[in-house]
Amino acid sequence: MELDEPSNQIPVFRPTFDQFKDFKSYVSYIESRGAHKIGLAKIVPPAEWVPRKCGYNTIENFKIKTPISQRVEGKEGIYTQYNIQTKALYLREFEKLANSKNYQTPLHKDYAELERKYWKNLTFNPAIYAADISGTLTDSDQPYWNINKLGSILDDLKDECKLTIEGVNTAYLYFGMWKASFAWHTEDMDLYSINYLHFGKPKSWYVVPPEHGKRLERLAGGFFPNNTRECPAFLRHKMTIISPRILNKYSIPFFKGVQEAGEIMITFPYSYHAGYNHGFNCAESTNFATERWIDFGKIASHCMCRPDMVKINMEIFVKKYQPEQFDKWKSSLWLKRRANSNQSLNFNDFLKLRYNPVMIELITKVIKNSTSTISAHTDISLVKLSMVKVLELIESIDKPYAQILKSNTNEPNSICPTFKPYLDENLINEIKNQETIETNRVESTFYPHCSICFLFKHSKINPNEAMTPKKTINSEILIPEICFLKNASEQSFDELFGKKIDCLLECKACKLMVHQNCYFGSLHGADIHGGGGVEGRSSWLCDKCIWLVGKNRPEPTCCLCLQKTGALKQCEDKNKWVHVTCSIATTGVSFKDPKTRSGATFNELQKNSPCQYCSDALGFTVKCDISDCDNCFHVTCALKQTHDKCVFDQNDWPKLTTALCSHHAYLSNECCLAKKQIAYQIGCQVKYDNKLYRVLDFVEQIFYQVDFGDGTYSNDMLPEDILDFSGVPTPGSIVNVKWDDNSVYTSTFLGVNQTYSYSLKEENGGEVVKKLHKELQPVVQENEMPKRQTAKSKRLPPTRIKRYSKKAKVEYDTVGQTHDDPPSLTIQDLLK
């Protein structure tokens, strides 16, 4: 029987014992009542069902080998949770800790008050959580709803493939305390899950219905653009916590409920859920599947950046339960991969999104009647085509009709604002400054040609990079919209996500080139002089030049960096101006109206040391994000450097921009030659020399890469091997290297190679050995889907291996031998 619940509460079911006996049938029943549309359901088992007859007094000596401390960072309802492994505990010690003064549940009169205290104190005093412990507390002879053997179709992995996946088709135990949390996630492979609370304090749950899961993914991606770039399925990392207040703000439906001891929670395929524990408790959980899940499993997203993520080959399920679809599904896999690699819209779909049927018919007619080659390119990708490009193409065919389109201000998606009268040429010539023009042209030299996007492009410029012809009128935007918003929790859902490509505007006076979106944001609220369309863009003037033209005024400077060039905007204090780039990179600066990038305000600006480049203490400098580094620099000064470059890059909430000085620029992934490796986690199995080992511990290690210029190189140089060089050399620098034979060789510094050193123990016993990441191989299950292949590294010429093959200063495979470890650099310890 389903209980009447408030509109935002999950459904609750109270089966009779006869109903409860058939697990599969009862799951089908609650789905018939619509529980799967909510995504989460609570089941109150009948009193006759006792999962553990002997009680729980005998488990106090249970050992928790890898409890985790949950450090939470963030603000305004958007947080990142870091799980840090702590020392092993016995359950009696964990219970004592959970009930101690520092960790006990606060006083509260009801669950609503406790919920408010949870979100208010989430970032303080990290909770300890004993999660993902393989085992069960349910009696093995319990025939009904035995979490360790539910008898679902997921057992086919055990029966037919002899494949056991801990926590997926076996049970996991969870021991919680107050504030111990589980972040927003769906189950591995979007499976069902069952969670039984054996004893202790309650557990609060939130769930987003499956039909709104994509909206939650998009919201999280907007707040964490860096995570999205590195792993589109980053929510599977279980690190992202978003409060219900934020979900309400962005109109994402959600439901919530409280699970008491002795109650069962069922989550359904592709339902995002999160929650927290009210105090010391114990839960048991596993995954299961029904035939309805198979269609979800076929399209489940996969995290490709972590080796321990669960991936199940769906072939055995489709072949057994959907035999009539097997051949078609198998043959479609290749086509789906092909489609996923090119998700951009074709030309016709692009028009449908932006024009009404009458407009589409007219545009199609123009194109078909043209002798232009445009008609042969109906599959132009959206990445290469913006609305401005559409107008440009039409204008090249039928200029009068293009003017009609551009003057149609009633079209809601029109890109062209009302045109302003062009300003007098003589007045414009009076304010032209050749030095300013030259500086602005430099910043627009490389793709995407935007002076504001240059903030993130500067450190990635390759001296050999070819310049894209600047006749291009649209290009990719590198600055995520959230970097302009700063206080994103106050914005609407649509405002959180900006354009991916946009047209470029070039100031007629100072030759500043910017994206229309980067400089003006929302088009309807912007005061764009000269228009922003195909014809008007060459007659556009930036805000600074409009302020100067026809008036005898001194040229304004940025109040943060004191420079006159670049994309300047007037502050809320009309006597001050600020660069858009400086406002993005400087903490404490925000736009009063971020939608139009206007009215910059200053809140608690911190005065830092003088700029390391110009030595000027005026204005406001940006400090390197490395905690023990005191280097400071003006944003504009840093962007002028061609050597010893600083790095500005997008980051995740709440610090949306990362700034690294030239000495620490190598810590940015973009500056490393190789993508940062993902460490094998403590306790996992790895293979070395055809033997199985278990990871006991690991540390991060930084090596340098150098090229000797004769076809050989080394990628495991230690920092002390580089002579006469303070800090980290700039890639391309000529350095002297001391070799093992005490000879000094001249070489070119290439970059940084980040890796890990592991302490390993052989599975059948034996001594502890140390190995580097590149020497190990992951242990892959027989039925696991194949992982992406990585590119092979360059081989050294055989004749030179003997001379130039680098010998490690530390013997990693030596046991029991004492030595001085080389200075290692742990990035996590350095970053704030």
| 96 pLDDT higher than 90 | yes
- Answer yes or no: are the C-beta atoms of 190 and 296 closer than 8 Å: yes
Token pair 């993005």 in the structure block, residue:
584
As a whole number of angstroms, the distance between CA 622 and CA 612 comes to 10
Question: What average pLDDT score do residues 139-143 get?
Answer: 93
Instruction: With H, G, I as helix, E, B as strand and everything else as coil, classify residue 658.
Output: strand
pLDDT at position 70 is 93
Worst-scoring range by mean pLDDT, 698-712, 745-759, 763-777? Answer: 698-712
- Answer yes or no: are the C-beta atoms of 668 and 746 closer than 8 Å: no
pLDDT at position 16 is 95
Task: Provide the CB-side half-sphere exposure for 84 (13 A, CA).
Answer: 10
In terms of Cα–Cα distance, which of 405, 399, 404 is closest to 370?
A: 399
Worst-scoring range by mean pLDDT, 234-238, 368-372, 376-380, 791-795? Answer: 791-795
Evaluate whether residue 142 is within a structural domain.
yes
Q: Which residue has the higher pLDDT, 607 or 154?
A: 154
- The burial class, CB within 10 Å (0-12 / 13-18 / 19+), for 226 is middle
Instruction: With H, G, I as helix, E, B as strand and everything else as coil, classify residue 622.
Output: strand
Considering the domain architecture, whether residues 245 and 266 belong to the same structural domain is answered as: yes
Q: Indicate the average pLDDT of the chain.
A: 76
Cis peptide bond upstream of 654, omega within 30: yes
| Structural tokens at position 599 | 């009215």
Domain count, the chain: 5
Evaluate whether residue 307 is within a structural domain.
no
- Answer yes or no: are the C-beta atoms of 506 and 513 closer than 8 Å: yes
Evaluate whether residue 417 is within a structural domain.
no
Considering the domain architecture, whether residues 41 and 28 belong to the same structural domain is answered as: yes
pLDDT at position 99 is 96
CATH of the domain at 695: 3.10.330.70
Q: Residue type at 426?
A: N
Give the distance from CA 83 to its chain's centroid.
Answer: 17
Token pair 């106090």 in the structure block, residue:
60
pLDDT at position 443 is 80
- Answer yes or no: are the C-beta atoms of 294 and 321 closer than 8 Å: yes
Worst-scoring range by mean pLDDT, 196-210, 279-293, 299-313, 671-685? Answer: 671-685
| 830 pLDDT higher than 50 | no
CB neighbours of 254 closer than 8 A, spacing ≥ 6? 8, 206, 207, 208, 209, 244, 247
CB neighbours of 166 closer than 8 A, spacing ≥ 6? 132, 134, 172
pLDDT tens track for 623-658: 888 766 788 999 999 988 887 788 888 887 877 888
Considering the domain architecture, whether residues 776 and 707 belong to the same structural domain is answered as: yes
As a whole number of angstroms, the distance between CA 638 and CA 584 comes to 14
As a whole number of angstroms, the distance between CA 401 and CA 395 comes to 7
* H or E, element range at 361: helix 357-368
| 742 pLDDT higher than 80 | no
What DSSP character marks residue 388?
Answer: H
Evaluate whether residue 412 is within a structural domain.
no
- Answer yes or no: are the C-beta atoms of 739 and 752 closer than 8 Å: no
Q: How confident is the model at residue 464 (pLDDT cuts 50, 70, 90)?
A: low
Could you give phi then psi for residue 114, rounded to 5 degrees? -65, -40
- pTM for this structure? 0.64
CB neighbours of 153 closer than 8 A, spacing ≥ 6? 289, 290, 291, 293, 317, 321
Range of the domain at 397: 347-407
Considering the domain architecture, whether residues 661 and 708 belong to the same structural domain is answered as: no
Question: What average pLDDT score do residues 45-50 get?
Answer: 95
Considering the domain architecture, whether residues 703 and 758 belong to the same structural domain is answered as: yes
Lateral strand order in the sheet of 255-259: 181-185, 272-277, 203-208, 255-259
CATH of the domain at 87: 2.60.120.650
pLDDT at position 360 is 65
As a whole number of angstroms, the distance between CA 571 and CA 602 comes to 9
| 788 pLDDT higher than 60 | no
Task: Provide the CB-side half-sphere exposure for 290 (13 A, CA).
Answer: 17
pLDDT at position 828 is 34
pLDDT at position 670 is 46
Considering the domain architecture, whether residues 339 and 366 belong to the same structural domain is answered as: no
Q: What angle do CA 292, 295, 299 make, to 5 degrees?
A: 145
As a whole number of angstroms, the distance between CA 11 and CA 36 comes to 10
pLDDT at position 308 is 67
Question: What average pLDDT score do residues 374-386 get?
Answer: 35
Question: What average pLDDT score do residues 276-290 get?
Answer: 96
DSSP string, 12-46: EE---HHHHH-HHHHHHHHHHTTHHHHSEEEE---
- The burial class, CB within 10 Å (0-12 / 13-18 / 19+), for 592 is exposed
As a whole number of angstroms, the distance between CA 277 and CA 273 comes to 14
As a whole number of angstroms, the distance between CA 210 and CA 323 comes to 26
Considering the domain architecture, whether residues 450 and 495 belong to the same structural domain is answered as: yes
495: β partners: none
Q: Which residue has the higher pLDDT, 796 or 319?
A: 319
| Structural tokens at position 517 | 């979106």
514: β partners: 505
Q: Which residue has the higher pLDDT, 604 or 568?
A: 568
Instruction: With H, G, I as helix, E, B as strand and everything else as coil, classify residue 440.
Output: helix
| Structural tokens at position 478 | 């590198």
| 31 pLDDT higher than 80 | yes
User: Highest-confidence range of 159-168, 320-329, 357-366, by mean pLDDT?
Assistant: 320-329
CA distance between the termini of the chain: 52
Could you give phi then psi for residue 200, rounded to 5 degrees? 100, -165
Evaluate whether residue 306 is within a structural domain.
no
Q: How confident is the model at residue 710 (pLDDT cuts 50, 70, 90)?
A: low
pLDDT tens track for 499-548: 677 778 888 888 888 888 888 876 443 344 444 443 445 567 888 888 88
As a whole number of angstroms, the distance between CA 494 and CA 81 comes to 26
Considering the domain architecture, whether residues 87 and 197 belong to the same structural domain is answered as: yes
In terms of Cα–Cα distance, which of 39, 54, 46 is closest to 8?
A: 39
Evaluate whether residue 678 is within a structural domain.
no
Worst-scoring range by mean pLDDT, 250-254, 499-503, 673-677? Answer: 673-677
- Answer yes or no: are the C-beta atoms of 776 and 677 closer than 8 Å: no
Q: Per DSSP, which regions of 177-253 are E strands? A: 181-185, 192-200, 203-208, 240-242
pLDDT at position 186 is 96
Q: Which residue has the higher pLDDT, 457 or 669?
A: 457
| Structural tokens at position 780 | 């892959």
Q: At what angle do helices 347-354 and 357-368 cross, to 10 degrees?
A: 140
Q: Residue type at 607?
A: K
Give the distance from CA 823 to its chain's centroid.
Answer: 30
Question: What average pLDDT score do residues 657-681 get?
Answer: 66
CATH of the domain at 594: 3.30.40.10
Buried b (16+ CB within 10 A) or exposed e, 410-425: eeeebbbbebbebbee
Q: How confident is the model at residue 392 (pLDDT cuts 50, 70, 90)?
A: low
Evaluate whether residue 470 is within a structural domain.
yes
pLDDT at position 678 is 66
As a whole number of angstroms, the distance between CA 306 and CA 237 comes to 9
Considering the domain architecture, whether residues 237 and 323 belong to the same structural domain is answered as: no
Q: Per DSSP, which regions of 61-137 are E strands? A: 63-64, 68-75, 78-85, 89-90, 127-134
pLDDT at position 608 is 76
Task: Provide the CB-side half-sphere exposure for 303 (13 A, CA).
Answer: 21
| 421 pLDDT higher than 50 | no
Q: Which residue has the higher pLDDT, 390 or 264?
A: 264
Considering the domain architecture, whether residues 112 and 253 belong to the same structural domain is answered as: yes
Q: What is the dihedral of CA 512, 514, 518, 523, to 10 degrees?
A: 100
As a whole number of angstroms, the distance between CA 249 and CA 472 comes to 38
Question: What average pLDDT score do residues 194-198 get?
Answer: 97
- The burial class, CB within 10 Å (0-12 / 13-18 / 19+), for 244 is middle
pLDDT tens track for 55-81: 998 898 899 998 999 989 888 899 999
Worst-scoring range by mean pLDDT, 136-140, 318-322, 566-570, 680-684? Answer: 680-684
pLDDT at position 400 is 54
Q: How confident is the model at residue 193 (pLDDT cuts 50, 70, 90)?
A: very high
pLDDT at position 252 is 92
Evaluate whether residue 671 is within a structural domain.
no
Could you give phi then psi for residue 622, rounded to 5 degrees? -105, 135
pLDDT at position 795 is 27
Please give the share of the chain, as a percent, with pLDDT higher than 90.
Answer: 31
Considering the domain architecture, whether residues 322 and 294 belong to the same structural domain is answered as: no
Considering the domain architecture, whether residues 253 and 334 belong to the same structural domain is answered as: no
Q: How confident is the model at residue 394 (pLDDT cuts 50, 70, 90)?
A: low
Q: At what angle do helices 357-368 and 387-397 cross, to 10 degrees?
A: 50
